[in-house]
């Protein structure tokens, strides 16, 4: 395991905020060092005040290896993959929405659901390969991760990034992040899905 | 200058957003109004459906072309028909003329594209033997782009005549010579100066702007959520007028008349078993041709073919591609008013989201199942080495 150092310094985030013109804000998650504490999920719930059953960010637990063979030493591991909205470059949810309630903002690349327009048909949930849109059964509308747009517009970090105790979630502009990665010689991946060319923007660094 | 003109000139037609299929469903590709509008840039597609700008010349071709009756001209179709009724002398034939046509017309409209099927059938309803359209050659006319519209309305009215059991030739087109154009030139010794004209214009601008101000303010505060607007299904004034005329046609006997549905404001729908009971087609239908019925744990979708305008909103909106528009349509449904049940299935309630769904495979609705399962599967496959999109 490589020695760990937080990759994105505050200056890079400031550069991201200051950047003019069309850009794509995104998250970078280092799942090699994620401890699966679910603090991001809870911070998101508190920040966005979501009801029970609606989680903008969920952490998927993956167990691998086995120790069923008594002759071998047990070789098991648990990895956690936080799954927020990917804020895709070509959102499948936007294409599926029959009333045009989902928009991708040019100025920051955030995909947002207009709560006044949404008719709660859940077509976005059908279309999204990542299961990001969540149905709010009380209000009968769809909701999803907004990348804490209300905080980002004020120049603050999203709640999940701010709260992450292991410091594995970072926020920034996609190109800035990519440049930093290249400098650090780290490899990042986005979760692409065969058959759905949505150009997801959220980046993951995985254990080698 | 463009802005001043657009602010001051109230367009002579009104767009009823609730009926516009473009407003209701952004996937709708309906461009019936723009296709016939003879004036460039008079019809604009905006986020809120369709906007008619001040460039409009009030030919009302768009009102005739809009299948949903969303565009309402200053003089409604009913009032136009009333004016026409006063001139009908049964059983003599009735001639409707274009303003440019030379000939003895009983009724003159600025452009024949103003006419709708209901207006064309009005003289027959009043007892006239024939309806003749006096039409000059439309090529070269300034309203040339609107010309196909009245041809279509004529064909439709003839088809409706046939389905009513009449001879289609009771509505015909007659060629007429074109009237010589009268040159309108401003007389050289016009009274008043240019300065006086501008002064009058300035005074008028100030007056209308002051009058328009208080109206604009409450309109903004009364903005209603889109979600609430689409729950309403207003009456389509055009279709109700047509049905009224067809009901009272003297001596009409409905005959099955099957015509291709493409390009016609009528349609018949089909629902395939892929229907998930999401109810989007019923919500988004601008004219309320679809109605949901749900009693005793069933979900049923009723369809009134007489109200359907073939705008295809349901077809393009359905995510599951379960709604299909038939390729042919029987016009006699307009006389009989029978509603059909498109689908009837058992309805169940999801344990997770308490929404209703169709089918009995599980206790949870397909969309709850799909999004949770998908998220897990994708994350797992990503971690194990698949699905990696490389950015760096």
DSSP readout, B183-248?
A: P----TT-SS-HHHHHHHHHHHHHHHHHHHHHHHHHHHHTPPPHHHHTT-----HHHHHHHHHHHT
Quote the CA–CA distance of A169 and B382 in Å, as a whole number: 18
Q: Does the beta-carbon distance from B319 to A187 stay under 8 Å?
A: no
Say whether A60 and B375 touch across the interface (CB within 8 A).
Answer: yes
What's the angle, vertex CA A203, arms to CA A198 and CA A205, rounded to 5?
Answer: 135
- Site from B30, B275, B389, B390 to mutate, A interface, most A CB atoms within 10 angstroms: B389
Q: Does B356 touch chain A (CB under 8 A)?
A: no
In this prediction, residue B390 carries a pLDDT of: 61
Measured distance CA(B131)–CA(B111) in Å, rounded: 16
CA distances from B118 to A199, B84, B125, B148, B252 (A): 51, 12, 10, 18, 15
Pairing mode, strands A134-136 and A141-143:
antiparallel
Closest in B371, B375, B383 to A79, CB measured: B383
Contact yes or no for A121/B357 (Cβ under 8 A): no
CB-nearest partner of B389 from A123, A137, A190: A190
Q: Minimal Cα distance from B387: which residue of A? A: A192
pLDDT reading at A206 higher than 70? yes
CB contacts, 8 Å: A121 with chain B:
278-280, 283, 319
Residue A127 has pLDDT above 70, yes or no: yes
With an 8 Å Cβ cutoff, are A188 and B391 in contact? yes
E strand or H helix at B314: helix B313-317
- Give B-chain residues touching A206 at CB under 8 angstroms: 383
Nearest to A121 among B27, B280, B380 (CB): B280
Q: What is the dihedral of CA B5, B8, B14, B15, to 10 degrees?
A: 60
d(CA A79, CA B33): 57
The residue of chain A with its CA nearest to that of B283 is: A119
Residues B207, B175: Cα–Cα separation, whole Å: 47
DSSP assignment of A102-130, as one string?
A: EEE-TTT--EEE-TTT-----HHHHH-TT
Predicted ipTM > 0.85: no
Whole-model pTM?
Answer: 0.81
* Inter-chain residue contact A130 with B372, CB threshold 8 Å: no
Q: Is B274 on the interface with A (CB under 8 A)?
A: no
Least confident of A24-28, B10-14, B106-110, B329-333: B10-14
Element of type H or E holding B346: strand B340-349
Q: What is the mean pLDDT of residues B264-293?
A: 88
Q: So what's the pLDDT on residue B183? A: 56
Closest Cα in chain B to A85:
B375
The answer, yes or no, to whether residue B292 has pLDDT greater than 50, is yes
Q: Would an 8 Å CB–CB cutoff place B282 in contact with chain A? A: no
Cβ-nearest to A129 among B284, B374, B388: B374
* pLDDT averaged over every residue in chain B: 83
Report the C-alpha gap between A19 and B285 in whole angstroms. Answer: 44
Per-residue pLDDT tens over the stretch B28-37:
888 989 999 9
Measured between beta carbons, the chain A residues lying within 8 angstroms of B317 are 98
Whole-number Å distance between alpha carbons of A111 and B371: 18
Closest partner residue to B283 among A119, A133, A135, by Cβ?
A119
- Contact at CB, B391 and A190, closer than 8 angstroms: yes
For residue B80, give the 3-state DSSP assignment. helix
- Rounded to whole angstroms, the Cα distance separating B243 from B77 reads 13
Residue B23 pLDDT greater than 80, yes or no = yes
What are the boundaries of each domain within chain B? 2-175, 254-371
In a mutational test of the B interface, the residue from A83, A122, A193 whose CB has the highest number of chain B CBs within 10 Å is A122
In this predicted structure, what is the pLDDT of residue A39? 94
How sure is the predictor about A188, in pLDDT bands with cuts at 50, 70 and 90?
Answer: confident
pLDDT reading at B70 higher than 70: yes
Question: What is the set of domains in chain A, with CATH numbers?
Answer: 10-87+145-205 (3.30.70.20)
Cα B307 to Cα A18, A150, B228, distances in angstroms: 55, 45, 22
Determine the Cα–Cα distance for residues A42 and A39; give it in Å rounded to an integer: 5
**B323 phi and psi, to 5 degrees?**
-95, 130
Q: Does B351 lie at the interface with A, CB-CB under 8 angstroms?
A: no
Judge: A191–B284 Cβ closer than 8 Å, yes or no.
no
Residue B51 in this model has a pLDDT that exceeds 50: yes
Q: What is the pLDDT of residues B337-366, one digit of tens each?
A: 788 888 888 888 887 777 778 876 677 777
Residues of A in contact with B311 (CB under 8 A): none
SS3 for A65? Answer: coil
Query: How much is the average pLDDT of A10-17?
Result: 84
Distance CA(B160)–CA(B242), nearest Å, equals: 10
Give residue A57's pLDDT: 92
What is the rounded CA–CA span in Å between residue A69 and residue A85?
39
Q: How far apart are CA A163 and CA B68, in angstroms?
A: 53
A58 → chain B, closest CA residue:
B375
CB-based contact, B352 to chain A, within 8 Å: yes
Q: Is A81 helix (H, G, I), strand (E, B) or coil?
A: strand
Option in B366, B370, B375 nearest A58 (CB): B375
Above 80 in pLDDT, residue B152?
yes
Neighbour-count burial for B54-81, b at 16+ CB within 10 Å, e otherwise: ebbbbbbbbbbbbbbbbbbbeeebbebb
Distance in angstroms (rounded) separating the CA atoms of residues A40 and A83: 10
B217 falls in which pLDDT band (50, 70, 90)?
A: very low
Q: Does the CB of B354 have a partner CB in chain A at under 8 Å?
A: yes
Which residue in chain B is spatially nearest to A93 when comparing CA positions?
B319
- DSSP conformational letter for B137: -
Report the C-alpha gap between A131 and A92 in whole angstroms.
Answer: 11
């Amino acid at each position: 395991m490589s020695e760990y150092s937080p990759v994105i310094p505050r200056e890079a985030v400031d550069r991201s905020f200051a950047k003019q013109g069309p850009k794509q804000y995104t998250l970078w998650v280092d799942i090699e060092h994620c401890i699966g504490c679910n603090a991001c999920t809870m911070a998101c719930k508190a920040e966005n005040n979501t009801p029970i059953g609606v989680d903008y960010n969920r952490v998927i637990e993956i167990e691998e290896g086995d120790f069923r063979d008594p002759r071998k030493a047990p070789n098991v591991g648990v990895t956690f993959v936080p799954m927020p909205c990917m804020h895709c470059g070509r959102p499948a949810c936007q294409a599926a929405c029959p009333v045009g309630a989902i928009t991708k903002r040019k100025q920051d690349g955030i995909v947002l659901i207009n709560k006044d327009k949404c008719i709660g048909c859940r077509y976005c949930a059908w279309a999204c390969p990542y299961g990001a849109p969540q149905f709010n059964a009380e209000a009968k509308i769809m909701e999803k991760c907004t990348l804490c747009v209300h905080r980002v517009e004020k120049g603050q970090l999203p709640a999940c990034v701010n709260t992450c105790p292991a410091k594995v979630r970072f926020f920034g502009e996609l190109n800035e992040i990519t440049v930093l990665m290249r400098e650090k010689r780290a490899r990042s991946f986005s979760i692409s899905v065969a058959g759905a060319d949505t150009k997801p923007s959220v980046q993951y660094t995985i254990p080698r | 200058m463009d802005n001043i003109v657009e602010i001051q000139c109230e367009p002579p037609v009104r767009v009823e957003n609730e009926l516009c299929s473009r407003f209701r469903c952004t996937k709708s590709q309906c461009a019936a109004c723009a296709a016939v509008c003879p004036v460039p840039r008079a019809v604009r597609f905006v986020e809120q459906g369709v906007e008619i700008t001040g460039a409009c010349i009030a030919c009302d071709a768009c009102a005739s072309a809009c299948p949903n009756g969303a565009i309402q001209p200053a003089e409604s179709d009913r009032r136009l028909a009333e004016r026409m009724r006063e001139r009908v002398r049964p059983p003599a034939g009735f001639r409707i003329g274009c303003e440019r046509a030379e000939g003895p017309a009983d009724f003159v409209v600025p452009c024949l594209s103003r006419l709708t099927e209901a207006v064309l059938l009005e003289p027959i309803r009043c007892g006239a033997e024939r309806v003749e359209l006096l039409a000059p050659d439309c090529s070269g006319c300034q309203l040339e782009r609107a010309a196909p519209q009245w041809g279509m309305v004529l064909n439709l009215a003839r088809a409706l005549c046939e389905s009513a059991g009449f001879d289609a030739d009771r509505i015909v087109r007659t060629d007429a010579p074109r009237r010589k154009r009268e040159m309108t030139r401003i007389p050289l010794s016009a009274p008043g100066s240019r300065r006086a004209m501008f002064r009058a214009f300035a005074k008028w601008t100030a007056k209308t702007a002051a009058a328009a101000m208080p109206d604009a303010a409450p309109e903004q505060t009364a903005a209603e959520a889109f979600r609430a607007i689409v729950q309403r299904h207003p009456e389509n004034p055009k279709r109700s007028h047509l049905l009224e005329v067809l009901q009272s046609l003297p001596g009409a006997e409905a005959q099955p008349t099957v015509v291709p549905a493409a390009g016609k404001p009528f349609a018949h729908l089909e629902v395939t078993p892929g229907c998930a009971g999401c109810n989007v087609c019923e919500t988004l239908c601008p004219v309320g041709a679809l109605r949901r019925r749900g009693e005793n744990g069933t979900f049923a979708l009723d369809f009134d073919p007489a109200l359907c305008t073939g705008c295809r909103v349901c077809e393009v909106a359905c995510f599951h591609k379960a709604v299909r528009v038939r390729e042919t349509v029987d016009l006699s449904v307009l006389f009989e008013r029978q509603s059909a049940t498109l689908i009837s299935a058992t309805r169940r309630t999801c344990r997770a989201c308490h929404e209703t769904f169709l089918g009995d495979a599980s206790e949870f609705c397909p969309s709850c199942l799909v999004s949770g399962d998908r998220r897990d599967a994708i994350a797992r496959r990503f971690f194990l080495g698949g699905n990696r999109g490389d950015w760096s």
